[in-house]
């Protein structure tokens, strides 16, 4: 059994920050679960282009507000506490923080290793360790 707290992960190399978001990676590829689980904060008033070409993601809003826009059709979906969105088709999307920071619980398959940030396309690169633990 693995037991960790959000606080200890926040104060470790499991936290990754960019200009538009911060992700605390609670469970990663090396935990051997086949997915990774993160608590991610999207900063208010920001926009992040994302295209997980190599991963599927489920996202649940814990607090705050924002929106997600699917690039292919321009549809905009409001995100607020209790909303889940599921990127089951590697959807290219724009994630926008609203009037306050938005805290999200995110699960990725295949799992991340921990230090990934979005590349020029908004994707996370695949790597052998993640694939072996999927």
Q: How confident is the model at residue 112 (pLDDT cuts 50, 70, 90)?
A: confident
3-state helix, strand, coil in the chain (%, to 5): 10, 45, 50
pTM above 0.85, yes or no: yes
User: What pLDDT digit, counting tens, does each position of 46-102 carry?
Assistant: 999 998 888 899 999 999 999 999 999 999 999 999 999 999 998 999 999 999 999
């Amino acid at each position: 059994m693995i037991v960790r707290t959000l606080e200890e992960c926040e104060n470790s190399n499991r936290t990754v920050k960019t200009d538009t978001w911060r992700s605390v990676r609670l469970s990663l590829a090396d935990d051997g679960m086949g997915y990774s689980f993160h608590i991610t904060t999207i900063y208010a008033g920001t926009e992040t282009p994302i295209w997980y070409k190599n991963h599927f993601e489920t996202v649940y809003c814990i607090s705050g507000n924002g929106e997600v826009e699917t690039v292919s059709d321009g549809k905009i979906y409001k995100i607020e506490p209790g909303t889940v969105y599921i990127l089951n088709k590697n959807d290219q999307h724009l994630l926008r923080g609203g009037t306050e920071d938005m805290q999200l619980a995110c699960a990725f398959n295949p799992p991340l290793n921990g230090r990934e940030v979005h590349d020029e396309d908004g994707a996370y690169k695949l790597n052998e360790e993640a694939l072996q633990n999927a």
